[in-house]
Structure 1
């Protein structure tokens, strides 16, 4: 293998970390089953929740193009944690996501994951993903203070 430029190495390493992280998460079919959808419907229910902004799915290309769903957004009964849709809405409306042509905001989900997995001062240095299942209202408060204040 040829020597990679530092930038190429960083991008390759980041892609490998994302791939490893996503491999631990749920497929659309697994999420749909947790949400009570019959197996023959596959991942349709998860996709509906994701499209409506009620679940966070991240786009992956390996092993096949699909969405994976971080486990930390679910309660023990398989349902999304309380306030998740509100948190995602605030992240997407005010967060650092790019506008595309025609004013649409599109996301692969990775920007949101980065926010959830980064230590947050308003959560005493804890990651929002760590706090989400035990105190989702606190995470909602943090995202509102960070992104909605001053808008």
Structure 2
């Protein structure tokens, strides 16, 4: 293989990474989320990181322009607060969804699998994506997650 030549699989991974990067560049930084939540503390980004690690916010890891987490805007109300039931939806996705569990229950995830679920059309939402319905009807998204991942109505 010549330098600069990619296999088809390498091109797919590169293109997917570029698409994710472009999508995440439109989302909020931890500092922006902190401001939206009304925090004016100089360490507001630290609070947001704690909320993400506690499963109360969805943040995805990106490496460009610098390693950080970005937060999809659709998980927030216009007031800047997270939508209702977000914590429960994220708990279902992470506990029962098919997103990167390792032996021993360890999770090593950039959380893109969860984002893909939110951005994929869902039959229980009339073909809309969970991200489109989330702020208007979070209970409906929670029900769809229950049915998909636990088989409960």
The TM-score with structure 2 as length reference comes to 0.93
What is the aligned partner in structure 2 of residue 134 from structure 1?
Answer: 136
Flag structure 1 segments of 5+ consecutive residues without an equivalent: none
**Paired residue total:** 150
- Give the alignment of 1:69-108 within 5 angstroms: 69-108=71-110
Runs of 4+ in 1 over 4 A off after TM superposition: none
| Distance of 2:4 and 2:105 partners within structure 1 | 41
In structure 1, C-alpha distance between the alignment counterparts of 2:57 and 2:11, rounded to whole Å: 32
Q: 2:34 is matched with which residue: 5, 8, 32?
A: 32
- Structure 1 residue 49, shift from structure 2 partner: 1.1
Task: For structure 2, list consecutive stretches of 5 or more residues without a partner in the other structure.
Answer: none
- TM-score of the superposition, structure 1-length normalised? 0.94
Alignment of 1:2-151 (within 5 A): 2-149=4-151
In structure 1, how many angstroms separate the alpha carbons of the residues matched to 2:148 and 2:14? 30
When the two chains are superposed, the root-mean-square deviation of aligned CA atoms in Å is 1.4
